[in-house]
Structure 1
Amino acid sequence: MGTNGTPPIKSTPSDELSEERRERLIRGIAEGELPLHRLPGDLSADEAASIRREALERRTETETDGLDSYSFDAETVSGNNCENLIGTAQVPMGAVGPLPIDGDHVQEEVYVPLATTEGALIASVNRGCAALREAGSATVHVEDVGMTRAPVFRTSGIEETRALLDWIEEHEEEIRDRVETTSEYLELLELRTHSVGTTVFVRFRFSTGDAMGMNMVTLACDQVIQELIPPATGVDCVSLSGNYCIDKKPAAVNAQEGRGKRIFAEVELSESVLREALKTTAADLSEVQYRKNLLGSAAAGS
């Protein structure tokens, strides 16, 4: 029986979703009898998304116009990237350029797509591209610092903490071999430990190829936790992420050591380029940098 005594909706595979069955599913969600994630598995991802949209429209008395306009493969997206799929949100996209680049892998003019709803943003960036063109080009270099994940472990005391630190140091190659089997694009660059009494952080730093790689490194760390470190040492893993990674927030460890990709860019702008393209002078630009970016940031603690 359902949560309120109603019969559960059964899955009956069919080539075409009948209007009667579709209505029962929509009504089940709209009336709170059927969770969004419990639609029958024989529905296509597109059918499930459509049912969720209509059910939410009824339950919330809102409209979902436009969410059904998408070009991606719903089966792939709902299975890997987005649960309870109902559609997509569209963001206007513009282009800036051409932007002259002199880098390790690109020595040409490129165009850059930008998705935004912030008026004047693209025009402002395009003005910067014009300044770079007049200056000749920008020299750029990208350094792969590596993506990090730092599980946190709990020990029974400082003696077990010391034993865990020693074990990790002695078995670094075994750990490396284990995590690198999880993806052909993954390379362990560094394994660093940091302890605070009975708390031990193990900070993994990986090269992840062209991917940002957060999911990749998380899966790798999860495997080494499930199969190696706690089983071999007897310590408990409290969390797959101990916040020493550190993700999605400013932190001193990232400022000092970097995380992800570090990008260097250099260009020399003449007085004429500053005046004609950016409508300013070197002196005015320098003062804004000092008073706003340096003093203002220091005053704000950012």
Structure 2
Amino acid sequence: MSGSNGPTTQRRAIPRDAVDDYTFQSAEQRRAFIREVSGVDLTHVAKYSFDPSLLQGNIENFIGAAQVPIGVAGPLRVNGEHAQGDFFVPLATTEGALVASYNRGMRLLTECGGVKTTIIERSMQRAPVFVFDDAAGARAFGLWVESNFTAIKQQAEATTHIGKLVEIQQFAVGPLRHLRFNYTTGDAAGQNMVGKATLAACQWISKTYPGGARYVLSGNMDTDKKHSSINMLLTRGRRVVAEAVIRKDILRDLMGVDPKALFETRQISNAGAFLAGSSNNGSHTPNGLAAMFIATGQDVADISESQAAVTYSQLLENGDYYWSVTLTSLIVGTVGGGTGLATQRECLEMLGCHGEGKADKFAEICAGVALAGETSLASAVLSGDWVSSHERLGRRHT
């Protein structure tokens, strides 16, 4: 019997080029490696139209592209502060009936005069936590942070020409002092931007605070890429409202539902959302937003925060129906990240939303799309079209 602890398996490293890993040749080498270890020939993954040299900063170990079908819905008329006009919206999805449903909701809103959109707040966070021996020490530190905000702001903003530190909120837990740094980030989603800025600020605080201060850069109170109630209340990304008055005659003609019945159903679904503890009392905000995110190069993981929404409605005295959706934590950008990649850039350009000065416009369109989806699905559930439309459009028929 040997002294070995048992057989070992040598790790097989994925091929990489230390000089330039973003080439057609490097991608082919990795596909050949996958073919060898799995027996799968990545014929379709290998088909794409962009140069891999453009991907540095977006992906590692590149092998090809996932081809997600893109449909178009619209026109959606938006009467916003930044987005004004009729928009045809790209939606990348593999869910049958989704594009058709949003298209129907966009027609309803447009025929009723369009959707009004308003951006209420803009904010992106990083939330470090400072650790002390006791609560009194943490409290003293908090007072020092308040009195030194201007200097902290200077340190943070020295790392970026776009990000601006607006405020630092504080939360005490035992000997811990959680600091929630709140920034504006221009046209970028901004998570990496504020991470770098907050690190610089924390390094300065740690060196400057009398006696020093120990910290962890993220104490998890920014809840990056996770839903949280604090972000619903205090905003992460953009807080955007989309609202419209739905005329009763158009609602009946296009959707086949009566405003009174729709309002009653709204109360029932509100109770259900409350019972479930849902972060969204609407029907399916993540559906349209995720499809837009994929099409336009947003960070799709941000849908976990961006999907949070509050639907509010009123049955008006004349029988028309007021409907609004508030997206509390919409995280989008029109520069950086995946927005400059080939197909994603084209989809943003479809909306006139690529580049600097366009993020507010894009956010308003996103909110309008969310409202369109709510009007369509809620009406389909009430009228009985929900299941039949998925049977007709959402299944493969042989």
How does the TM-score come out when normalised to structure 1?
A: 0.82
1:288 aligns with 2:265: yes
Distance in 2 between residues matched to 1:212 and 1:200, nearest whole Å: 26
The aligned counterpart of 2:145 is 168
Greater Rg over alpha carbons, structure: 1
1:207 aligns with 2:164: no
Q: 2:112·2:245 contact (CA, 8 Å) conserved in 1?
A: yes
Among 52, 61, 77, the alignment partner of 1:74 is 52
Q: 2:112·2:246 contact (CA, 8 Å) conserved in 1?
A: yes
The letter for the 2-side match of 1:70 is: Y
Gap change, CA 1:288 and 1:157, over 3 Å in 2: same
Structure 1 position 63, deviation (Å): 3.0
Structure 1 position 111, deviation (Å): 1.1
Point out which structure has higher relative CO (alpha carbons under 8 A, 6+ apart). 2
Distance in 2 between residues matched to 1:290 and 1:63, nearest whole Å: 53
1:149 aligns with 2:126: yes
Q: 1:45·1:75 contact (CA, 8 Å) conserved in 2?
A: yes
The aligned counterpart of 1:58 is 36
Q: Deviations over 1:235-270 (max 9, x none)?
A: 2123x2212112223322112212111111121111
Structure 1 position 69, deviation (Å): 2.3
Structure 1 position 33, deviation (Å): 5.5
Among 190, 196, 201, the alignment partner of 2:173 is 196
SS of 2:245's equivalent in the other structure is coil
Q: Deviations over 1:69-111 (max 9, x none)?
A: 233442342x312122222211111111111111112321111
Among 239, 242, 245, the alignment partner of 1:262 is 239
Q: How large is the Cα RMSD of the aligned pairs?
A: 1.9
Gap change, CA 1:160 and 1:73, over 3 Å in 2: farther
The aligned counterpart of 1:27 is none
Distance in 2 between residues matched to 1:63 and 1:296, nearest whole Å: 47
Distance in 2 between residues matched to 1:134 and 1:44, nearest whole Å: 48
Structure 1 position 34, deviation (Å): 5.0
1:98 aligns with 2:83: no
SS of 1:111's equivalent in the other structure is strand
Distance in 2 between residues matched to 1:57 and 1:42, nearest whole Å: 22
Distance in 2 between residues matched to 1:177 and 1:128, nearest whole Å: 47
How does the TM-score come out when normalised to structure 2?
A: 0.63
Structure 1 unaligned spans of 5+: 1-30
Q: 1:150·1:245 contact (CA, 8 Å) conserved in 2?
A: yes
Gap change, CA 1:116 and 1:43, over 3 Å in 2: closer
The aligned counterpart of 1:122 is 99
Gap change, CA 1:169 and 1:73, over 3 Å in 2: farther
Q: 1:140·1:263 contact (CA, 8 Å) conserved in 2?
A: yes
Distance in 2 between residues matched to 1:69 and 1:216, nearest whole Å: 33
Gap change, CA 1:43 and 1:158, over 3 Å in 2: closer
Distance in 1 between residues matched to 2:46 and 2:26, nearest whole Å: 12
What is the count of residue pairs matched by the alignment? 268
The aligned counterpart of 1:3 is none
Structure 1 position 44, deviation (Å): 4.5
The aligned counterpart of 2:199 is 222
SS of 1:65's equivalent in the other structure is coil
Q: 2:178·2:219 contact (CA, 8 Å) conserved in 1?
A: yes
1:84 aligns with 2:61: yes
Structure 1 position 42, deviation (Å): 4.6
Among 130, 136, 139, the alignment partner of 2:113 is 136
Distance in 2 between residues matched to 1:245 and 1:43, nearest whole Å: 34
